[in-house]
Amino acid sequence: MKYAEVQNYLGDAFVSPKRPLLDVYNPSSGDIISRVPLSGAAEVDAAVQIAKVALVPWSATPIKERVQVFYRYKTLLEQHIDELTALITEENGKIASEARAEVLKSAELTEFACSLPQIAAGEILEVSRGVECRVERYPVGVVAAITPFNFPNMVPNWSIPNALALGNTMILKPSEMVPLSARRIAELLKEAGLPPGVLQIVNGGQEAVEALCDHPDIAAISFVGSTKVAQIVYRRATQSLKRCLALGGAKNHLIVMPDANTEMTSSNVVASMSGCAGQRCMAASVMVGVGNTDHIIKRMVEHAKAMVPGTDIGPVISAAARERITRYIDEAEKAGAKVLVDGRNMKVPGKEGGYYLGPTIIDRVTPDMKIAQEEVFGPVIVIVRAKDVDEALRIENASPYGNAASVFTESGGVARYVMEHASAGMVGVNVGVPVPREPFSFGGWNDSKFGVGDITGRGSIEFWTQAKKMTTKWNSEAGTNWMS
Ligand code: NAD
């Protein structure tokens, strides 16, 4: 194995729990590169006990001092970008430019956390003569973050810098498919001066997640993953009276109008559906072509055919994922759809063991087909036709998901109409991947998110803190108003 067995991070020590181990694969080669322990309730409880002790001094440290750790951490992310990029590529498979962009995004997330002293400052107002109301924000306590396989570095950094800068202590449960980046995050935070016990890592799968949901001393959980598991985690965490923000899966629709700029639209749509091998919760999954968009589709086909698997597009995460995605394409074809670009049975010379699929474009799909409704999570886009923008919006809004939606058009009126009427938490105009950048928040609607607030940016402040409302009177007058 290229990497030593993955360990949990407790206090300031990496430890090997006596638990069953799961193989970790390199999706580009199919090689086993490490093994990860599947922790249970005992490992979770050990971390919680340490986090409770660490919470006392950390939460009492002024926020301006806490964020100094994150200034240093951001510099370390930048200094170690080549190494972190290589590690992401190794465990997740995405190509180097995508992995590098992920680390840069982690640095941007950290930059936002550094600005929290300014953004999260309290409020104060004289509400009656001599009577002041003020609001101060306090951490919620020991919290947990549960993350998916598709962004091993960035998604943990959606939660870690903000939650910790706001004074919480955290237990991270990374995806058991990509546990290696998490260790480096912890090591760099330690080097940046984060005190022991403020961030800990418990590795594992379902059993560890259930123990985090059930633990009475964990106050809040952020979850990112599939809708099925987001619902399980949201129900279970709130059942034990925690606050929970659970981001789920997606089925993102791009509405393409006939007046859209052909070159920009075709390249953006293909980049959105194929980037990170389609394994982004913001990836384009359905293109709704309004009226005649054949000229744009023709150019999309050319862009997709020019992509070289192994160079321009990485593998999907596992052999099982490749089989699942292939099955969706097979079934759509059987149901009458037309495969314009076929990424099935793709072999990359020298990487025959890798889980590769080429970009796949499927035309003549109808909204009732399974491939138009379910999350495929691979480099596949289906094209559904609509006669006008209202029909396109009806198709988009019929999806139970609501992560992202975009419209491609040169008309400001049409763009505004879609922005208002699309049932999605993140909407783009002429943007294939409408990820809001800091200080704006990331979070979907409908079955793409359960809970209140967003996971990044300003929206996360409410989730990671509790507001204390204080009323004081320092003047000597009595009975001057109803509060006296
Ligand atoms: P997943 O739901 O399988 O796993 C996510 C986490 O849940 C992992 O840490 C895993 O160990 C744990 N888990 C898995 N099964 C569980 C169970 N039965 N009970 C308790 N915990 C369980 O997701 P994934 O395959 O790692 O990631 C891909 C999914 O994540 C896609 O659906 C994608 O859309 C979604 N995603 C969403 C966002 C977003 O912002 N909405 C961002 C990234 C990924």
What is the whole-number distance in angstroms between the Cα of residue 282 and the centre of ligand 1? 14
Q: Is the CB of 220 under 6 A from ligand 1?
A: no
Q: Is the CB of 246 under 6 A from ligand 1?
A: no
pLDDT tops 90 at residue 478: no
The predicted structure's pLDDT at residue 128:
87
Ligand 1 site-directed mutation target among 109, 147, 207, 226, most atoms within 8 Å of CB: 226
**pLDDT-derived band at 475, boundaries 50, 70, 90:** confident
Q: How far is Cα 124 from Cα 121, in angstroms, rounded to an integer?
A: 10
Q: State the pLDDT at residue 309.
A: 95
136's tokens: 């101060």
Amino acid at 404: A
Ligand 1 within 6 A of CB of 404:
no
Residue in 213, 244, 276, 281 annotated catalytic: 281
Residue ID of nearest Cα to ligand 1 atom 21: 206
389 lines ligand 1 (CB under 6 A): no
pTM of the model: 0.97
Domain 252-429: CATH superfamily, name plus number: Aldehyde Dehydrogenase; Chain A, domain 2 (3.40.309.10)
Minimal-distance CA residue to ligand 1 atom 13: 206
Strands 220-224 vs 243-247: parallel, antiparallel or unpaired: parallel
360 lines ligand 1 (CB under 6 A): no
pLDDT category, 415, cuts 50, 70, 90? very high
With residue 128 as reference, give the H or E element that holds it.
strand 123-128
**Does the pLDDT of residue 468 top 80, yes or no?**
yes
Q: For residue 130, name the pLDDT band (cuts at 50, 70, 90).
A: confident
Atom of ligand 1 nearest to the CA of 233: 20
Per-residue confidence (pLDDT) for residue 476, from 0 to 100: 75
| Span from the CA of 183 to the centroid of ligand 1 (angstroms) | 19
91 with 180: CB under 8 angstroms? yes
Instruction: Report the distance separating Cα 453 and Cα 113, nearest Å.
Output: 17
- The highest-level CATH class for domain 8-248+448-469 is alpha beta
469 C-alpha to center of ligand 1: Å?
Answer: 36
pLDDT recorded at residue 286:
98
3-class DSSP assignment, residue 339? strand
pLDDT of residue 480: 59
Mutate to test the pocket of ligand 1, among 229, 235, 448 (most ligand atoms within 8 A of CB): 229
Q: What is the pLDDT of residues 282-305, one digit of tens each?
A: 999 999 999 999 999 999 999 999
CB atoms inside a 10 Å sphere around CB 255: 25
Q: Lowest-pLDDT range, 103-112, 207-216, 362-371, 470-479? A: 470-479
- Taking the centre of ligand 1 as the mean of its atom positions, its distance from the CA of residue 145, in whole angstroms, is 12
Q: Is the model's pLDDT at 484 over the cut of 70? A: no
Please give the number of the atom of ligand 1 that sits closest to the Cα of 151: 43
At 197-250, the pLDDT tens digits run 999 999 999 999 999 999 999 999 999 999 999 999 999 999 999 999 999 999
| Burial label, 216 (beta-carbon count in 10 A; 0-12, 13-18, 19+) | exposed
Taking each helix axis from N to C end, the angle separating 81-92 and 96-114, rounded to the nearest 10 degrees, works out to 120
Q: Please tell me the predicted confidence (pLDDT) of residue 105.
A: 98
226 CB within 6 A, ligand 1: yes
How confident is the model at residue 483, as a pLDDT?
62
- Please say if the pLDDT value at position 61 is more than 60: yes
Predicted local confidence at residue 187, as pLDDT: 98
Residue listed under structure tokens 């509060």: 483
Is 281 noted as a catalytic residue in this protein?
Answer: yes
Question: Which pLDDT value is given to residue 129?
Answer: 85
Percent of the chain predicted with pLDDT > 70: 98
Q: What atom in ligand 1 is closest to the CA of residue 174?
A: 9
Distance 122 CA to ligand 1 centre (A): 35
pLDDT by residue (tens digit) across 309-335? 999 999 999 999 999 999 999 999 999
Our answer on whether the CB atom of 148 is closer than 6 Å to any ligand 1 atom is yes
**Ligand 1, closest atom to CA 205?**
11
Q: Which of 120-124, 299-303, 402-406 has the lowest mean pLDDT?
A: 120-124
| CB-ligand 1 contact for 316 (6 Å cutoff) | no
Measured torsion, CA atoms of residues 303, 304, 305, 307, in degrees rounded to the nearest 10: 90
Distance 224 CA to ligand 1 centre (A): 6
| Res. 55: pLDDT tops 70 | yes
Mean residue pLDDT across the chain: 97
pLDDT at residue 457, rounded to an integer: 96
Residue nearest to atom 17 of ligand 1 (CA): 206
Extents of the domains making up the chain: 8-248+448-469, 252-429
Cβ-defined contacts of 10-17 (< 8 Å, 24+)? 10/46, 10/47, 10/50, 10/200, 11/50, 11/196, 11/197, 11/200, 12/190, 12/196, 12/197, 14/183, 17/42, 17/43
* C-alpha span between 469 and 434 (Å, rounded): 36
